Amino acid sequence: MNRSELISIQDNFRPHLKNRDYCFIAPVDSKQFELFTRTAIDIAPGSLFNNSIHRVLSNTDATKKALERMPNGMELTIYVITRPNNDDPVLAHSTIEEYCQRNSIDFNS
């Protein structure tokens, strides 16, 4: 799927997210994902010391700008993050399909 298709799916899916959960588009490849994350940290408001990974990756502007800086042609996916009630730095993620099944959500992209 190309970026514009993923953006459309993500935009349609966001209203279905529960509580403090969020989603973003990022590279599938782990090295590219790490670069994407570092780029989003640099872009997000605040300093590295004041930003949790959740605060950075849930910042739509930061992740959108980080994605724009990534090379074209890489495989991308939509990550759905289930955020705990505290600021636990663990990223518990799933696909849209898994998230919908777990939360009994009827969503057709």
pLDDT band at 87; cut points 50, 70, 90: low
Per-residue model confidence as pLDDT tens digits over 88-100? 666 788 989 999 9
What are the CA-CA distances from residue 84 to residues 28, 76, 78, 80, 90 (Å)? 23, 25, 19, 13, 9
In a domain, 31, yes or no: yes
pLDDT band at 83; cut points 50, 70, 90: confident
In a domain, 107, yes or no: no
In a domain, 69, yes or no: yes
Based on the number of CB atoms within 10 Å of its own CB, is 76 exposed (0-12), middle (13-18) or buried (19 or more)?
A: buried
In a domain, 11, yes or no: yes
In a domain, 95, yes or no: yes
**Alpha carbons 66 and 62: distance in angstroms, whole number:** 6
Which residue from 29, 28, 2, 22 is spatially nearest to 99, judged by alpha carbons?
22
Tell me, what's the pLDDT at 14? 96
Tell me, what's the pLDDT at 108? 85
In a domain, 109, yes or no: no
Query: 50 is in which domain, residue-wise?
Result: 3-102
pTM: 0.87
Q: Is 46 left (phi over 0), alpha (psi -120 to 50) or beta?
A: left
In a domain, 108, yes or no: no
pLDDT band at 86; cut points 50, 70, 90: low
Tell me, what's the pLDDT at 38? 93
In a domain, 45, yes or no: yes
What is the tally of structural domains in the chain?
A: 1
Q: Which helix (H) or strand (E) holds 94?
A: strand 92-94
Q: Is 19 left (phi over 0), alpha (psi -120 to 50) or beta?
A: left
Per-residue model confidence as pLDDT tens digits over 24-79? 999 999 999 999 999 999 998 875 566 688 888 999 999 999 999 999 899 999 99
